[in-house]
Structure 1
Amino acid sequence: MTGSPRRNAIAGYAFLAPFLAFYFVFLIYPFCLGMWMSLHDWEIVGDYRQYIGLSNYAELWEDPYFWEALRNNLRFAAMTAPLATLLGLALALALNKPLRLYGALRAIFFASSIFSVTVVTLVWSMVLNPDRGLIANGMRAVGLEPIAFLAEKAWAMPALVVTTLWWGAGFPMALFLAGLQQIPPEVYEAARLDNASRWTVLRHITLPALARTTLLVVVLQTIMHLQVFGQPLLMTRGGPSNSTRPLVQLIYETGFRDWRVGYASATSMVLFGLMFFVALLQLRLSRQEGT
């Protein structure tokens, strides 16, 4: 027997209450507090709070370290997100088979994404070590001089990109596998009867069917890599010459080393705005795909 509409509404809100409370306490309230702090000269210790309006944002505009960190962020995301998408798609296409061997390979490739950033950076720091690293030993074996990848400005960022790709390729692979398994097998059977080549099937069936999944993966990867922090902090300390220091590291150092929480909050708001723009772009493109 169903209850009255009012009772059903109360029951629905009661079920939503735990989620709404969690959402408010851990998302809405911290965001509003961060925005309020960005308008103050706010120190992390003590009770010093002085409202200064948009002065923190004006200082950001003139801060060369901020612009350098922003460029590093955009450069890292521009290098990593497309490569992660292509790598995830390639792995999904290669491993989308029912045999147990491919199931085991899928598990192996996805397993790297569950490692902590500390483990991943420790392993790759040893691999990239110019004295005893795996790559250095390989280069010596063929008569080449080892490269200090993490200490040279030209190689530090690509080294972080390779480390991140090894670490995170399993997640886009899983999303593409889910998308591939939604394609009706009858479509491939019809293409087979028409003697369509693999390239034709990929170009005219698989890739168009994965358009929404590809857009989702690109946006998620872009937002994820705009928040990069652990890899540059642990592998390069933001160097050499600040060439790999991202915005999150700048926020961390400004807030917890220099105790300028208001300025760090302003930087956080800029980073949030950048990610919000990417999310809105994804929403607009997905709506265009649906029309």
Structure 2
Amino acid sequence: MRQLWGRKSENIAAYLFLLPFLIIYSMFMLYPIIRGFVTSLNKVSISMDYTFVGLANYADMFRDRYFWEALWNTFYFVLISTPSLIVVGLGLALIVNAKLKGTTLLRSVFFLPFVLSISVISSIWVFILQPYTGLLNTFLHKLGVVQELFWLDEPQLAWISVLIATVWWTVGFNMVLFLAGLQEIPEDIYEAARIDGAGAWRQFTAITLPSIKSVMLLTVVLQTISSFKLFGQTYLMTKGGPGTSTRTLVQYIYEKGFIERDMGIASAMSYVLFVVTIVFAIIQFKLLSNKD
């Protein structure tokens, strides 16, 4: 009886310690999620009067061609950014893990852009990518490229510009994750492989990649979720243009909700994006996780 009472006391104490977090979490996470879903089922006027319309907002959303364009633009960025950030992040992690002189400085240099805000990053890259006087075009002219490149005014070049800015800004975080995984691999395994005659590429494919599989899964999932939420780079660098060629779903949600004041459809789009992101994350876990 005394042991049972002791366990109950421990449980009560644990819940009391968790209570402040649960209250804050419910206020700022659970309540907005529920309220957003309720909003998606209503027409919301400028005076914030709610009129229940059921699934009408979702029907209007699926009939909106700009919604499908924004969703495709988001998918396109996920497809080009996730592999780029994974490959570059792993490459940088291998460089700073090589135990060469100056790797500590390189580690700081590679990670430094990640601590900057998106407005700063966008301003830097808009300055670099300006036509005629931009740093990149000036450098290309020095190399003999005569044609003037309008990086932010042509659809494909605009996507390349956003991708470059995103990689430069966020790859440091992926590098740190991969570096943590690389440093967990025992050096004895590499020594045994070298004794058996395995070259650098064989060691990488047979030892390094299998050993960081869990880190790879985590990084891919986190990067995919982050890419689905793309907003700041396109909004600040291209304004979603030229035209609407780089307008992502998050930017369209922002325009619908805060410019057109249609909070019902904006909330419906938000939930579609949420479901799509969750589905992609589950698929990646199924494909990349260990099946043992």
Q: In structure 2, do the counterparts of structure 1 residues 214 and 47 end up closer, same or farther at CA, with 3 Å as the change threshold?
A: closer
Name the CA distance, whole Å, in 2 between partners of 1:282 and 1:143: 41
Give the match's secondary structure for 1:169: helix
Cα drift, residue 215 of structure 1:
1.5
Match of 2:279 among 277, 280, 285: 277
Name the CA distance, whole Å, in 1 between partners of 2:255 and 2:187: 53
Question: 1:130-155 deviations in whole A, cap 9, x for unaligned?
Answer: 02101111233325122111011221
Give the match's secondary structure for 1:221: helix
> Amino acid of the residue matched to residue 79 of structure 2?
A
> Amino acid of the residue matched to residue 71 of structure 1?
W
Question: 1:26-75 deviations in whole A, cap 9, x for unaligned?
Answer: 111100100010000013x3142110000111111110000000010000
- Greater CA deviation, 132-141 or 223-232? 132-141
Aligned to 2:242: 240
Give the match's secondary structure for 2:208: helix
Q: In structure 2, do the counterparts of structure 1 residues 285 and 21 end up closer, same or farther at CA, with 3 Å as the change threshold?
A: farther
- Greater CA deviation, 95-104 or 46-55? 95-104
TM-score when normalising by structure 1 = 0.95
Aligned to 2:42: 40
Give the match's secondary structure for 1:289: coil
Question: 1:97-145 deviations in whole A, cap 9, x for unaligned?
Answer: 3456101111110111111000100000010000210111123332512
Name the CA distance, whole Å, in 2 between partners of 1:90 and 1:143: 29
Name the CA distance, whole Å, in 2 between partners of 1:195 and 1:18: 58
Give the match's secondary structure for 1:245: coil
Q: Which runs of 5+ in 1 are unaligned?
A: none
> Amino acid of the residue matched to residue 272 of structure 1?
F
Question: 1:198-223 deviations in whole A, cap 9, x for unaligned?
Answer: 01100111011111211211111111
Q: Is the 8 A contact 1:216 1:282 kept in 2?
A: no
Aligned to 2:166: 164
Q: Is the 8 A contact 1:39 1:262 kept in 2?
A: yes
Aligned to 1:130: 131
User: Which residues in structure 2 correspond to 1:102-141 (within 5 Å)?
Assistant: 102-141=103-142
Aligned to 2:82: 81
Name the CA distance, whole Å, in 2 between partners of 1:30 and 1:225: 22
Match of 2:254 among 237, 252, 255: 252
Give the match's secondary structure for 1:76: helix
Q: Is the 8 A contact 2:113 2:172 kept in 1?
A: yes
1:198 aligns with 2:200: yes
Q: In structure 2, do the counterparts of structure 1 residues 282 and 19 end up closer, same or farther at CA, with 3 Å as the change threshold?
A: farther
Name the CA distance, whole Å, in 1 between partners of 2:141 and 2:286: 51
Give the match's secondary structure for 1:97: coil
Name the CA distance, whole Å, in 2 between partners of 1:39 and 1:100: 60
Q: Is the 8 A contact 2:119 2:232 kept in 1?
A: yes
> Amino acid of the residue matched to residue 286 of structure 2?
R
Aligned to 1:261: 263
Cα drift, residue 3 of structure 1:
7.5
Aligned to 2:22: 20
Name the CA distance, whole Å, in 1 between partners of 2:186 and 2:141: 51
Name the CA distance, whole Å, in 2 between partners of 1:133 and 1:60: 40
Q: Is the 8 A contact 1:139 1:145 kept in 2?
A: no
1:231 aligns with 2:233: yes
RMSD: 1.7
Q: Is the 8 A contact 1:110 1:169 kept in 2?
A: yes
> Amino acid of the residue matched to residue 229 of structure 2?
Q
What is the aligned residue count? 289
> Amino acid of the residue matched to residue 186 of structure 1?
D
Aligned to 2:64: 63
TM-score when normalising by structure 2 = 0.95
Name the CA distance, whole Å, in 2 between partners of 1:173 and 1:282: 20
Question: 1:150-208 deviations in whole A, cap 9, x for unaligned?
Answer: 01122111110111011111011101001101111111111122121001100111011
Aligned to 1:289: 290
Cα drift, residue 282 of structure 1:
3.7
Q: Is the 8 A contact 1:41 1:52 kept in 2?
A: yes
Give the match's secondary structure for 2:51: strand
Name the CA distance, whole Å, in 2 between partners of 1:143 and 1:120: 26
Q: Is the 8 A contact 2:217 2:285 kept in 1?
A: no
> Amino acid of the residue matched to residue 42 of structure 2?
H
Q: In structure 2, do the counterparts of structure 1 residues 66 and 95 end up closer, same or farther at CA, with 3 Å as the change threshold?
A: same
